[in-house]
């Protein structure tokens, strides 16, 4: 469920994560080429050149994204909306009818279980 929800609704989190890292490295490179800023602007040259600090920044950004994924995982697992369950059935191609119930095919192409009063 979490993978399905993340695929459908949270596509902007990885895109935002990648673009923020890209903007950070692009701005660090742009400011490092200007001689007046150089290494004096919060040691930009040292941060860009040091791979362990870059990997630490990537780890921090990934851990910040886990808050949104964790909240969505909680809601999807413990309190799913009926529309979420119907969406899962449609995407995964599951059969919502129990095997023992008679089936009625409606004109819209969907399969519905036969009700006792029918």
Question: pLDDT by residue (tens digit) across 93-112?
Answer: 776 665 565 555 565 666 66
As a whole number, mean pLDDT of residues 3-29 equals 71
What is the spatial distance between Cα 74 and Cα 104, in angstroms, rounded to a whole number? 35
Q: What is the full DSSP assignment across 1-48?
A: -HHHHHHHH-THHHHHHHHHHHHHHHHHHHHHHSTTTTTTTTTHHHHH
What is the spatial distance between Cα 3 and Cα 5, in angstroms, rounded to a whole number? 6
Residue written as token pair 């490179």: 29
Q: Tell me the pTM.
A: 0.34
């Amino acid at each position: 469920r979490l993978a399905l929800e993340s695929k459908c609704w949270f596509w902007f989190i990885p895109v935002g994560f990648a673009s923020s890292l890209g903007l950070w490295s692009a701005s660090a490179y742009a400011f490092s080429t200007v001689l007046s800023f150089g290494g004096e602007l919060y040691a930009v040259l040292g941060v860009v050149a040091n791979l362990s600090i870059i990997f630490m920044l990537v780890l921090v950004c990934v851990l910040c994204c886990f808050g949104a994924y964790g909240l969505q995982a909680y809601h999807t697992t413990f309190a799913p909306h009926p529309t979420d369950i119907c969406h899962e059935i449609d995407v995964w191609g599951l059969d919502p009818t129990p095997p023992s119930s008679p089936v009625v095919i409606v004109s819209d192409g969907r399969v519905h279980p036969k009700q006792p009063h029918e």
